[in-house]
Amino acid sequence: MVKGAVCAALCLLTLGGCTGNKDKQLRFDGHQYRTKAKPADRKMSIAAFTVEVKNVSQSLKGARAAGEYAGVRYCVTNYGSSRIDWDIGPETDPGTLMIDRDTLTFRGTCLKP
């Protein structure tokens, strides 16, 4: 009984819940994107990171917003600050963005508060 209550409480805290309801997931420009933020080189520092955004062909505008959101979330989680110095990020000229196999990649560095 306690396990069920814990599962229910945890499910309420997640975006999709236990039902996997995609309507409650974040959308950017009307689309959902899978993102992955990770350190560029964990051995050096976790401040420098990359963000991968899948399915960029849905909407470049939405993919850029999703990538920015993932980067901010990464920095807030790891550094307590949303300040980012983007090498390639949401404000980068579209012609110089890193897009390969329908995946957009941003690079940035978390700044301390």
Predicted confidence (pLDDT) per residue in 42-76, tens digit: 888 889 999 999 999 999 999 999 999 999 999 99
82, pLDDT greater than 60: yes
Identify the H or E element spanning 11: helix 2-13
Structure tokens that stand for 82 in this block? 């949303």
Note whether residue 72 is domain-resident: yes
In this prediction, residue 21 carries a pLDDT of 52
3-class secondary structure, 93:
coil
Domains in the chain: how many in total?
1
In this structure, is residue 92 part of a structural domain? yes
Residue 110: its H or E element: strand 103-110
Q: Does residue 14 belong to any structural domain of this protein?
A: no
Decide if 38 is inside a domain. Answer: yes
Rounded Cα gap, residues 63 and 91, in angstroms: 12
Read off the pTM: 0.76
Within a 10 A sphere around the Cβ of 62, how many other Cβ atoms?
19
Whether residue 47 lies inside any domain: the answer is yes
* 99 within a domain of the structure (yes/no): yes
Place of tokens 């404000």: 91
| CB proximity list for 33: less than 8 A, separation 6 or greater | 53, 54, 55, 56, 58, 62, 63, 66
Q: Decide if 7 is inside a domain.
A: no
Range of the domain at 62: 26-110
| Amino acid (one-letter) located at 44 | M
